[in-house]
Every structure is written in structure tokens, then in C-alpha cells.
Amino acid sequence: MRKSILPYWLAVAGLLTSAASQAQLYGHFGHVSLGYDGAKFGPVNTWIPAELGYPDLKNNLVSIGLDHYSVINNVLVGIQLQSKVGSVVRSNTGNMRPYVFDGILQAGYVVYNQKKLLIYPTIGAGYGAFGAHLFNTRKKYPDFVPNEPRTRENVVLINQGFVGSVAVSADYDVRQQLTEYNKGFTVGLRVGYDFRPKSNRWQANGDLIEGGGPAFSAGGPFVRLLLGLSKIGPKRQ
């Protein structure tokens, strides 16, 4: 067991040693991201009565996001906004589509910044919401949907609360070495995991559902491509 994890400890130690020996970075950078997020919608699928004929949601989401970080002495602080959407599933009864929206404050540290490559782990906390949109419902609704006319036809089931995130990102600057404080264009990759406590508090079009619903979490792993702009480098004298 010890032998199997030794290479990973050596890699971490190497990155920390490298970070300590490199010039401290200052500046700011941001990205537009596009990626794939995993989530398990089983509790939502079983919540919708089978006799209504709604199809099951598929366990994947496409995500689009924006983020921005400030860097001081290799320490990162920033904010990330993420929107995720799943495939529409269709039936003769109605259609359904999942959405997720997150806003997360992030902190991290640059552990590697050589040869145009920047590597930095981050951890974040914020607020997020999952929504399941039922539309073209053919007048067939689950019993827990309120009877008010405004909640019919287009029903959005919402589950919201705390969201956390851990990730490791790598940015490659296509125009410059990270030896001068100037602008650059970056491409990169981010892998990580979004996690949320399970909650049974649900709303239908903003109205709290009496008795709640299934305990559910829309968290899961993700991988994202990054396109960004940066203005980062050693501190100017």
C-alpha cells in the first residue's frame, strides 16, 4: 500500500517544492468554460409517478461558465458562475429537462508556473439551484404540483441550497512566458467535483411543496475546457 501511494506523494512534494522556488505571481485572469458534468437523477425520476408516463432524466449535463481570479503571492481568490443543462426527454404525456445554476466563491494556490503552464488547485463554496422543467404536459401533473393555474403547463420543480467545489486546473499561455507582467491568451482544462448536501425541500414554480420531496443532491464530477485572458506575472518593481 505504501509503495502504491509513494509516487503520488513524491509528485505533490515536487510541485510544492517547485512552487516555493519560483517567482511569486500577481495579477488577474478569467475564463469562459464549456464542459461535461455528471449527476444522478434517480430520486427525481422515481418521484414522478410512473403512471403519468414521463420519461427518465439522463444522468449528464452540459455546462457553460464564467470565472475570474485575482492573484497575490500565488494565492488565488475569485468567483465562478456556472449554468448547466441536460437533454430534453420527451413522451406523449409531456417533456422534461434538468437545469443547474451555481454561484461559487473560490480560493486556491498556484503550485506550478513554468514553460507557459500554470497549475492551480481550488476549493469553493456558494449557492446553487437544481430545476426540473416539465412542459407540454397535456394536462397531466404529479399530485404534489399545486392546483393554481399559474403553476400549470410549465412546471419548474426547484431544489436549492449550499454547493461546494474542489478542482484542479491547468492553463497554457499561447503567447508568452510567465516572466513578464503582460496580457496573454490561455487555453486549459479543469477537472473536479461539485458537492451538495441532500435536501428534501422542493418548490413548484416558487411555491413550497407540502411534505417536501425526495432527498436529492445534484452534485457530481466534472471536466471543462477553458478559454481565457490573463494579465499575470512576477510583481513589477
pLDDT for position 147: 63
Name the pTM for this structure. Answer: 0.82
Confidence of residue 93 (pLDDT cuts 50, 70, 90): confident
* Cα-based distances in Å from 119 to 15, 123, 168, 171, 187: 9, 14, 7, 7, 12
pLDDT for position 210: 83
pLDDT tens track for 4-26: 545 544 555 555 555 544 668 88
Strands 207-208 and 203-204: antiparallel
pLDDT for position 1: 45
Name the percent of the chain lying above pLDDT 90: 50
CA atoms in the 13 A half-sphere facing the CB of 127:
2
Taking the C-alpha atoms of residue 222 and residue 11, their distance in angstroms, rounded to an integer, is: 23
pLDDT tens track for 198-230: 999 999 888 888 888 899 999 999 999 999 998
How confident is the prediction for the chain on average, in pLDDT? 84
pLDDT for position 15: 54
pLDDT for position 193: 97
Taking the C-alpha atoms of residue 60 and residue 220, their distance in angstroms, rounded to an integer, is: 9
What's domain 2-234's architecture? Beta Barrel (2.40)
Q: What is the DSSP string of 55-118?
A: PPPPSEEEEEEEEEEEEETTEEEEEEEEEEE---EE-SS-EEEEEEEEEEEEEEE--EEETTEE
pLDDT for position 7: 53
Domain limits of the chain? Answer: 2-234
Angle at 182 between CA 178 and CA 186, to 5 degrees: 60
pLDDT for position 8: 47
Choose the weakest-confidence range: 18-27, 46-55, 131-140, 163-172: 18-27
pLDDT for position 123: 97
The C-alpha cell at 103 is 454561484
Choose the weakest-confidence range: 89-93, 179-183, 201-205: 179-183
